[in-house]
Amino acid sequence: MRRFAIFFAILIVAALSACGAKEDSTNADSEEIVPLEVEFSVPETAEVDEEVKLIATVTYGEESVAEADDVTFEIWEQGMEDKSNKYEATNNGDGTYTMETSFDHDGIYEMFAHVTAKDMHTMPKKSITVGSSPSHDSDHEQTHTHEQGEVTDGFAMHFMEPKSLRAAEETPLKVHVQLDNQPLEQASIRFEIWNEETPDKHEWVNAREAAAGEYFGDFVFQEAGTYQLAVHVENEDGLHEHQEFEINVTK
Q: What is the pLDDT along the chain (251 residues), one digit of tens a residue?
A: 555 555 555 555 555 555 555 455 444 444 566 778 999 999 999 999 999 999 999 999 899 999 999 999 999 998 887 788 999 999 999 999 999 999 999 999 999 999 989 888 888 889 999 998 554 443 333 333 333 344 577 888 888 888 778 999 999 999 999 998 788 999 999 999 999 888 889 999 999 998 888 999 999 999 999 999 999 999 999 899 999 999 999 98
**CA 147 to CA 4: how far, in whole Å?**
80
Look at residue 9 and give its three-state secondary structure. Answer: helix
The residues, ordered by sequence, that sit 6+ positions from 90 with a Cβ below 8 Å of its Cβ are 97, 98, 99
Q: Do domains 36-141 and 157-249 have the same CATH topology?
A: yes
Does residue 233 contact residue 189 with C-beta atoms inside 8 Å? yes
**CA 98 to CA 60: how far, in whole Å?**
18
Every domain of the chain and the residues it spans: 36-141, 157-249
Query: What CATH code would you report for 36-141?
Result: 2.60.40.730
**Which class does domain 157-249 fall in?**
mainly beta
- What letter represents residue 23's amino acid? E
- 0.75 exceeded by pTM: no
**CA 212 to CA 202: how far, in whole Å?**
28
Q: What share of the chain is helix, strand, coil (3-state, %, to 5)?
A: 15, 50, 35
Q: Identify any residues that bridge with 85 across adjacent strands, giving them in sequence order.
A: 75
